[in-house]
Amino acid sequence: MKIKICKADALFSTYIRERDRWTCQRCHRRYEPPTSALHCSHFWGRGRENTCFAPNNCDALCFGCHRIWGHGDGREDYIAFKKRQLGEDGYKRLTLEAHRYKKRDGKLAIIVIKYLLDELNGTDDSRSAGQSTAGRMAA
């Protein structure tokens, strides 16, 4: 099955891999960008619109680790990893959020992801004003 990748998906994948310093979060192997060997793994699948572009739902995983954690018996290990990463309460909040309905808005997603990338790369002009991306988005 071929997965359709839109501009927001590609940009978000880049953000996750940069955030995780081009390192697989399971085996800790480092990759030199750009590479297709390191994936943006969605704990709750991309079809769940509410968490599709949620940074806490995604991790950089190499092809092999993505296959292990994304399917079958390895799923339990991915659940344990997410619970350690987010804490029990964070994991529960992510699970609840994944099961809420939200209509996809690709244009808004691109705007938010660009802010996240700018903030990650230190090129966000509002940093000097002391306002985070979350603060700007809430305003």
**Which of 55, 59, 58, 51 has the alpha carbon at shortest distance from 104?**
51
Distances (CA, A) of 69 to 25, 43, 77, 78: 11, 9, 7, 5
pTM: 0.78
- The per-residue pLDDT string of the chain (139 residues; one tens digit each, 9 = 90 and over) reads 556 778 999 999 999 999 999 999 999 999 999 899 999 999 999 889 899 999 999 999 999 999 999 877 888 999 999 999 999 999 999 999 999 988 878 888 888 899 999 998 887 554 444 444 444 343 3
Cβ neighbours around 124 below 10 Å, total:
19
Residue 109 and residue 53 in contact, taking contact as beta carbons nearer than 8 Å: yes
Residues 6+ apart with CB under 8 A from 77: 68, 69
